[in-house]
Amino acid sequence: MDYLEMNDLPELRSPTLVLAFSGWNDASSAATTAASHLRKELGGKEFASINSDVFYNFQDVRPIVHLDEEGQRVITWPSNTFYACQTPEIANDLIFFVGTEPHLQWKMFSNLILTLAQKSGVRMVVTLGALLADVYHRNAVRITGSSTDAELADRLGLRRSNYEGPTGIVGILNNLFRDENLPAVSVWANVPHYVNVSPNPKAALALVQKISEFLSVDVGLGDLEIGSSDFDDKVDHALESNKAIKEYVEELKLRSSEEEEGLEGLPSGEDLARELERFLRERGKNGDSANES
């Protein structure tokens, strides 16, 4: 069975692939919310998907039943969908992938994504994530980034990840891209671990803003901006009913204000975009020369 289902492959100009998965890499659904918002704003059209049959334990991620307009029951399975975005206003087109972290067959699943990237001529990958962290909810959302590609990390002022321990599908894919000499950047939002809100509009908005700067695209912010504007007040109101948590958050507020200056985040969007364009342009010239020889 062919688990990668593709329609007609669109004609795309050296696309960048942006990936986001619900699950372990997606605290408060910030990453998948951001990716979905970006692909909608940029008019992404579905052109490929990964069949879910062999990759999930459906007792853990159950199919969803809903009624259509005629009252008929419809089953929605966990989805992994690729969307093509033609973006003539920038130098390259985009592919967005929004999916669900698989339970099984991670190597096969990862190789299916790599296969599509190769067939589509992808020149760079951006993976999105969100993690629970000791951050104060009223502070600006901390966005951190890394790259497994040493040259790209150096050019963009990013660090190479030094994390050791259990990893998610994003970590597996980034290593696979490294092994295949496909430049990849991973961008993460830090989400307050004491705020059980999904999706978190403030974190999703911060990711959308950073990625749109990074890719040099303009998108509307819509409901994310509206939801983010009163997010802090809603959290404050919820904390009023839990004295112990409120006291902890006050301590975190003091600690975070002292630590904030020493933390490394991503460079400015303009600097990232400018250096990224230069990196891809030089890489393209080197690749053309190699092909000619």
User: Domain holding 77: CATH number?
Assistant: 3.40.50.10900
Half-sphere exposure of 186 (CA within 13 A, CB side): 25
Hey, which residues does 75 pair with through a beta bridge?
Answer: 65
Q: Residue 56 — very low, low, confident or very high, per pLDDT cuts 50/70/90?
A: very high
pLDDT for 132 = 93
pLDDT for 162 = 76
Domain that holds residue 241: 4-292
Q: Identify which of 3, 5, 31 has the alpha carbon closest to the alpha carbon of residue 18.
A: 31
Q: Residue 26 — very low, low, confident or very high, per pLDDT cuts 50/70/90?
A: very high
Q: Identify which of 74, 50, 48 has the alpha carbon closest to the alpha carbon of residue 63.
A: 74
Q: Residue 172 — very low, low, confident or very high, per pLDDT cuts 50/70/90?
A: very high
pLDDT for 241 = 86
Region 85-109 average pLDDT:
96
Q: Identify which of 123, 128, 100 has the alpha carbon closest to the alpha carbon of residue 37.
A: 128
The model's pLDDT over 181-223, given as tens digits with 9 standing for 90+, comes to 999 999 999 999 998 888 999 999 999 999 999 999 999 998 9
Is the pTM higher than 0.85? yes
- Domain total of the chain: 1
The model's pLDDT over 226-242, given as tens digits with 9 standing for 90+, comes to 999 889 999 999 888 88
The number of helices, as runs of H, and strands, as runs of E, in the chain is 9, 10
At residue 164, the 3 state secondary structure works out as: coil
